[in-house]
Each structure stands twice: as structure tokens, then as C-alpha cells.
Structure 1
Amino acid sequence: MAIKSFQGKRTNTTPKSSEPILVSDYMTKKLITFKAEQPIEDVIDTLITNRISGGPVVNDKNELIGIISEGDCMKQISESRYYNLPIDKNSTVEKAMVKQVETIDGNMNIFDAANKFLQSKRRRFPIVENGKLVGQISQKDVLKAAMKLKGNNWK
């Protein structure tokens, strides 16, 4: 008796050419933003209420002018404690924010963005197009993209 193959018909299949996954596919577009003239206490309250670790600072034209984080707010608290005073009511976002902000291009491959996160030790990058803030990508967004692609060929 002969051995029969149960593999089925073999055909030459060509691998699918997949499009690269872009930052713009996974970035957050509805952002909580801050204004330079906002008091630090408002920022702290917003960060706690929305369970976020920071956010972009924009002007009236929605142009990115800085970024503020929990760490920036903690510096303000630490300074007031040093002088044994409450947080200064005149302490604004503009005084505490980082003004030199690194951004990412929305057309960047998501895995190149992951590499940029590793190199820079940042938690988030704003995405700016034509001078306007259009979104933000976080490390968590990159992880979500990776989980969706689990089992695929990563290019």
C-alpha cells in the first residue's frame, strides 16, 4: 500500500507586500492641551483627573510652544517646599514647561518611532504639520501597534 500525502495542492505563493505602519495610524488626535498662561495647579489637577503624565502647550493658533509633564510640575512643588511656602499662585505653565520640544513626523514608520523612544527616553512625542499640532504618539500607542501586528512580518 502506498503512502498518500495529505498536504493538499502546493502552489507558489508570493508574500504579501504590506504597507509600513505609520505613526499617524496610531497617534492620538484628540489631545488635552495647555496654555502658557495657565496656573500650575490647574495643570496638576488636569493630569490627575485625566490620568495622563503630561501634554503639549499651544498658543491661540494651535502652534506647539512647549510641553509640560508631571516632572515639571513636581519641580514647582519641590521649590515651594524648599522655601516652606504653598505653590505660588503666579506659577504658570510658561515658567515650568520645556520649550525645546522634539517632534516626530506623522509619516514615520511606527518601529522607527519605537527606536526614537528608546534613544531619547521620552514618554511622548507631539506631531506637528505645517506648524500646527495635529497629534501625539506615546510609548503605549507604539505597544498597541505592535500587539495588533503580532504574528505578521514586521518591516
Structure 2
Amino acid sequence: MLKSIKVRDYMTRHLVTFRSDTDLFTAINHLLEHRISGAPVVDSQGHLIGMLSEGDCLRGILSGAYYEATGGCVSTYMTTDVETVGPDADVIELSQRFLSGRRGRLPVIENGRLVGQVSRHDVLRAVKEFAQHDPGHVASRA
């Protein structure tokens, strides 16, 4: 059994975030510039109020093209029902959530504020580092 590995030790802390009044095309430019598929939307106090994904942006562009009114604010297109995780959550338990759901990353919330994000990539990194430092782990040799 793996020891408890906390989300806070592997989460990404420096995130691209948006405000609800951010222009949709400005948000799209940031997603493309930073090569990310989505970002949290926060209020002025850093509380998570939604997530904006590439899919949300595509829906916004397509619906805008249909109605001949492209653009608008992030708040119109963001997802507001967001699954989150706390910084003291166990990474191994989190991996079960990733396997049973379709999310590839989750915002990390502490005391009501966004403090980071943890992804499947972060979980893999945590398990790999633990396995490499575990004296009971025997690496296969070619």
C-alpha cells in the first residue's frame, strides 16, 4: 500500500485564470498562448465561480456564428457546476476519481479560495516519484 501523498505537494499553483467579465476571444487567446485546454474563472477575492474549457469556447463561437453575434463574456459560456478537491486530499484516492470520471484536472480549493489545480499528469508524477524513492520497490532491469 502506498503512503499518503497529498494533493498540495503536487498541484500546480501558478494558474492562468479568468474573471467572469473577460472577453471570450481574450480568453481563447490566453488558452492558445499558454497551450492549455481550460482555466478556472474566479471572482475578485479568488473564489472559484466556474471553469472555461476549449469546448465552452467552441460552443460560444458556434452559437455566436449561428446568431451572427460572436463574442461576449466568459460568464456566458463557462461551466458553473465544477468538481473540486482539497489540498489535503490523498493523491491515490484522487486517482480513483480520475478513473471513474471524465475530468483530467480538478481545481484545488482551500478555505473557499482557489489555491491550485491538480491533474492526472500530477498524479502520475507523484506515484512515479514515490515508487522511485520506495526502498521496497524493485525496478525491473533490462
TM-score range, shorter chain: 0.7 to 0.9
Query: Pick from 68, 93, 97: which aligns with 1:116?
Result: 97
Unpaired runs of 5+ residues, structure 1, are 1-16
Offset, 1:139: 1.4
Could you tell me which residue of structure 2 aligns to residue 20 of structure 1? 4
TM-score normalized by structure 2? 0.86
Aligned equivalents of 1:97, 1:139: Cα separation in 2:
22
Q: Identity over aligned residues, as a percent?
A: 38
- 2:140 is matched with which residue? none
Name the structure with the higher helix share. 2
Residues 1:146 and 1:19: Cα distance change in structure 2 (over 3 Å):
closer
* Matched residue, 1:95: 76
Stretches of structure 2 lacking an aligned partner (at least 5 in a row): 138-142
Greater than 6 Å deviation, 4+ residue runs: none
Q: 1:128 aligns to what?
A: 109
Number of aligned residues: 135
Distance in 2 of aligned mates of 1:80 and 1:96: 11
CA distances 1:17-62 after superposition (whole Å, capped 9, x unpaired): 9741111110011111100000110110000000111111000011
- Alpha-carbon RMSD across the aligned residues, in angstroms, is 2.0
1:74 shift after superposition: 0.8
